[in-house]
Amino acid sequence: MAVRLGFVGTGGIANRHLTCAQKRDDMEVVATCDVVLDLAQQAADKYVASGGAYDDVVKMLDSEEIDAIVICTPPFAHGDIEEAAAERGVHFFVEKPVAISMQMAGRVLDAVREHGIITQVGYMFRKSEPIIKAQQLLSERAVAMVQAHYYMPGLPNKGWWTKMEMGGGQLVEQATHMLDLGRFLAGDVKSVIGKISTVHDWTPPADYEEPAAGLVEYKEGFEIPDTTALILEYESGAMGTLSCSLVPQVKWDNGFKVVAEGAMVTIDGANAKWTTSEGDFEEQAASDWYDAVLVEFTDAVASGGMTTIPYEEGVKSLAISLAGYESVARGGAPVELAEIMPEGI
């Protein structure tokens, strides 16, 4: 029987997961929910065979027969949604980052543990086959350096992206992908040093015409750093760096260089290359690689099994970004992750 899904937050990324669900026989979209009811209705018209559109997750959960929800809300809009699902024994998939603060993440983690539901976080790069092969190669070697970057040619044009208290800046909202993948490739992080800067003048010039879609070069009310650097100390003794920037330039570029004993790994988006004494190897991800993270979740819900990126993983990865900001607040002093992690992790 198909897993019955409700969607919460039907903006940009929800369409990717809705499209995946629609083309599969083992998933059924039964309802949609967005605080902007029109958006929920548009998604329902396009993707829902029966059931309806809601502007409140509790109403949706109490009106529909739902096995699991797919949460695609911005970083600030978490907590109550996950708790409402957990209390009803409804499993959830949640887009990264899992929360805007450790306090919010800790609250949800308690609810997940108390109700024993199945969870998965949308850190989709972990499910790319070339990256899984690179991880296997690295797991047999001592990793020395994990050098990550996330460079954007501008700012996503969503109001919440420009506010620290809503999106958490690029470090929390987006570069979290790289911090999570760094953990996948090299294990947990022990401490973080962070520095931030704003290099670009984001005030729109009088003659600026905002593009109808896509990234923008200027934005009124821009309040986040546009350039961030972290130094990471891994539990294993490996060192790492993360560089990220939104400063408008010409190329979207995210990836890694990982140096390990006898191997150099390069990750470019979802693709990977590596060089060992046996030669040079290169693998490209399948065109629909990003669907695997949701498929694994619904398989686990259908079978009562496990996922590979449960909520706790999302909390650990969020903690790296927030430790980076805490280090900034302490003038660049190192912050141990153990200082900010919820109990029991």
Ligand X SMILES: NC(=O)c1ccc[n+]([C@@H]2O[C@H](COP(=O)([O-])OP(=O)(O)OC[C@H]3O[C@@H](n4cnc5c(N)ncnc54)[C@H](O)[C@@H]3O)[C@@H](O)[C@H]2O)c1
What is the contact surface with ligand X in residues (CB under 6 A)? Answer: 8-14, 33-36, 39, 57, 72-75, 77, 95-96, 122, 124, 158, 173
Of all residues in the shown chain, the one whose CB is closest to ligand X is 11
Give dist(CA 333, CA 329) in Å, integer. 9
> What sign does the CA torsion over 48, 50, 55, 59 have?
negative
What are the structure tokens assigned to 129, written together?
């086959």
Within 8 A by CB and 6+ apart from 86, the residues are 92, 108, 111, 112, 114, 115, 117
Minimum separation from the CB atom of position 116 to ligand X (A): 24
Q: Where are the alpha helices (DSSP H) in the chain?
A: 14-22, 37-47, 57-63, 80-87, 102-115, 129-139, 164-167, 169-173, 176-186, 292-303, 311-329
Minimum separation from the CB atom of position 135 to ligand X (A): 18
Minimum separation from the CB atom of position 118 to ligand X (A): 19
Minimum separation from the CB atom of position 139 to ligand X (A): 24
State which residue, 39 or 189, has the beta carbon closest to ligand X: 39
State which residue, 253 or 336, has the beta carbon closest to ligand X: 253
> What sign does the CA torsion over 212, 218, 221, 224 have?
positive
260 phi, psi to nearest 5 deg:
-135, 170
For residue 135, give the DSSP letter: H
State which residue, 16 or 190, has the beta carbon closest to ligand X: 16
69 phi, psi to nearest 5 deg:
-115, 155
Minimum separation from the CB atom of position 300 to ligand X (A): 18
Minimum separation from the CB atom of position 73 to ligand X (A): 4
State which residue, 59 or 330, has the beta carbon closest to ligand X: 59
What are the structure tokens assigned to 173, written together?
């909202």
State which residue, 13 or 132, has the beta carbon closest to ligand X: 13
Within 8 A by CB and 6+ apart from 316, the residues are 183, 188, 337, 341, 345
State which residue, 2 or 164, has the beta carbon closest to ligand X: 164
Minimum separation from the CB atom of position 57 to ligand X (A): 6
What are the structure tokens assigned to 251, written together?
């190329």
Minimum separation from the CB atom of position 123 to ligand X (A): 7
State which residue, 35 or 145, has the beta carbon closest to ligand X: 35
Is the Cβ–Cβ distance between 232 and 147 less than 8 Å? no
Within 8 A by CB and 6+ apart from 135, the residues are 184, 185
State which residue, 4 or 127, has the beta carbon closest to ligand X: 127
Coil, strand, or helix at residue 21?
helix
State which residue, 29 or 260, has the beta carbon closest to ligand X: 29
Minimum separation from the CB atom of position 340 to ligand X (A): 20
Give dist(CA 190, CA 237) in Å, integer. 9
